[in-house]
Structure 1
Amino acid sequence: MDTSSSSRRIGVVGYGHLGQYLVQRILRDGPAHGLTLAFVWNRNSDRLRDCVPAELVLTDLSSFAERRCDVVVEVCHPQIVRDFGLRFLSQAHFMVGSPSALSDPDVNQQLRQASQQHGRTLYVPSGALWGGQDIQRLSDSGSLKALFIRMSKHPSCFRLTGDVLSGWTEDEGRRVLFRGSVAELCPLAPNNVNTMAAAAVAAGTTLGFSGVQGEIVSDTALRDYHVVEVEATGPDGFSVHTVRRNPAKLGAVTGSATYNSFWNSLLFCEGHGGRVYLC
């Protein structure tokens, strides 16, 4: 689908904080960038009432193809990627806001194959990842030997599936919650480690989700921002270490700077043909 010379129709799947931000940006600024809103879907459609024009509300996600989108943007939950990713790619380019779903090898392979089969792009937004394109270039050249990423947040910002935070108290300070491969981390904190998942995608198939190492840290001192540290290692002693402080309110899963990052990623979704593309 060539959308370079015409308005691109965007479908937004999910209406949490990030979905709300993207919908409002598309409605307000989209026309200036060649974007129009095709539909908005949310698991609880009542949340869309009086917030989204009625004609743009999609109540049954299975009927998304009727809206004839150029790009479908998922910003809600990894399960949507698993359940609808193949269908999305059969009809449109697909921007995965929950790339932690790609930690499942079967899902990853199926979506890559569908992207090639249909000639559409599986976009992975960089989010809070700094230097993703550089990591990808290192990987593509065969020079990326190791990649480590640490995400530190206030404990109220974590949404974990296990009982890792059980017994936590406010005076505890700093605690390493988990360290291991990103493949292991994604099921534990699917809503918190999408930046790590983006890094694993950038690292390519050489390292992948199993080869990239990650660590999540609970730190009560981080009341105003999240910290993302990335260390990439190459040959002959080469290494790069970056530290990003992302402003965030208490309890916020996503840092505030990430919202604009997602918007900028969406502007890149113009069709890069049958591949996975970090944007």
Structure 2
Amino acid sequence: MVRRVGIIGYGYLGQYLVQQINSRSDMELVFVWNRTVSALKESDQIRPDQILEDLSDFEKYQADLIVEVAHPSITQKYGPGILQSTDFMIGSPTALADAELEAALRSAATDHGLYIPSGAFWGGEDIKKMADRGTLQALKVTMTKHPSSFKLSGELKVKNDQVKDTRTVLYDGPVRELCPLAPNNVNTMAAAALAAHNLGFDKVNGSIVADPELRDWHIVEVDVWGPGDLSTGSAFHCKTIRSNPAKVGHVTGSATYASFLSSLLAAKDKGPGIHLC
């Protein structure tokens, strides 16, 4: 069965997904929405009838899956409505750091699935299994990038702009507080907080580090603590380090594109509720 897919956002990742969908026989591109419509009209990958100018009209395209790769504000405004009509995959899960929005999405996902791509988050299924059993005690995600690869706001932007020659920790604390300040950079951490549901956004720790010497990579470290005595250092501990090739100034590493496509292919047939894919 051919799946009808709508794409929200036409940046680097959106362009990649459109190209991949068009190259496959098991999926059909039914619409693309972008804040700048001219980018869609100039694309040789999108037909005029596939350009959605008013996102409120998404229902008329009868998509089986709608994929957001634009900005967390899209999910805030349209997420619950989309879930009432079809499956929804959000590429900006930092939106769920808003507790009210997360509750609204869970409430809306009674007939369709809300899919969270794992992206650069390694080991998500194993972490979720530990959370399901209640044995997950702590989780920390550390992301290290060149300063130009961070898109930040508020005090974090000021701090990042001051980084010149020295590796600098910009933030270390709860993921919930970090998401609004770095909505384009810490989707990996948001996915981690959703997988580690017994800890959530308030107890999963996130750290972002600006390293001027790190020019060709994005580094993601995931530290997991499970059964045992955490206070004495005798609890189960697993650490993974993911080195993702990335161009200076790019928010998304190159390997994340393929990972996101794999998530898109897996975002089906899981029923209502929230699913990591």
CA drift at 1:274? 1.2
CA distance in 1, matches of 2:153, 2:164: 23
Question: 1:16-70 CA distances to partner (integer Å, 9 max, x unpaired)?
Answer: 11000000000012x1xx2111100001110111312111111110000000000
Deviation at 1:165, TM superposition (A): 4.0
**Which sections of structure 1, spanning at least 5 residues, go unmatched?**
1-5
Structure 2 Cα separation of the partners of residues 248 and 200 of structure 1: 24
Q: Please identify runs of 4+ aligned residues in structure 1 that moved more than 3 A.
A: 167-171
TM-score, reference length from structure 1: 0.94
2:228 equivalent to 1:233 = no
Residue pair 1:93, 1:271 contacting (<8 A) in 2 also: no
The structural deviation recorded for 1:169 is 5.1
**Equivalent residue number for residue 175 of structure 2:** 182
**Which residue does 2:232 correspond to in 1?**
none
Q: Which amino acid aligns with 2:141?
A: I
1:146 maps to amino acid: A
- 1:18 has 2:13 as partner: yes
Deviation at 1:233, TM superposition (A): 0.4
SS of residue paired to 1:11: strand
1:170 is displaced (CA, Å) by 6.2
Identity in percent: 50
Partners in 2 of 1:146 and 1:247 — Cα distance? 28
Q: Which residue of 1 aligns with 2:38?
A: 46
Unaligned runs of 5+ residues in structure 2 are: 229-234
**Cα distance per residue 1:79-127 (max 9 Å; x no partner):** 00000001110111000100000000000011011102xx211000000
Distance, in Å, in 1 between the alignment partners of 2:47 and 2:246 is 29
The C-alpha deviation readout for 1:146-179, integer Å capped at 9, x for no partner, is 0000000000000001132436456422000011
Aligned residue for 2:154, secondary structure, equals coil
TM-score by length of 2: 0.95
The answer (yes or no) to whether the contact 2:136–2:196 under 8 Å persists in 1 is yes
1:201 counterpart residue number? 194
Letter in 2 for 1:43: R
CA distance, structure 1, for counterparts of residue 155 and residue 174 of structure 2: 19
Distance 2:215 2:166 in 1: 12
Which of 160, 165, 186 is the equivalent residue of 1:172?
165
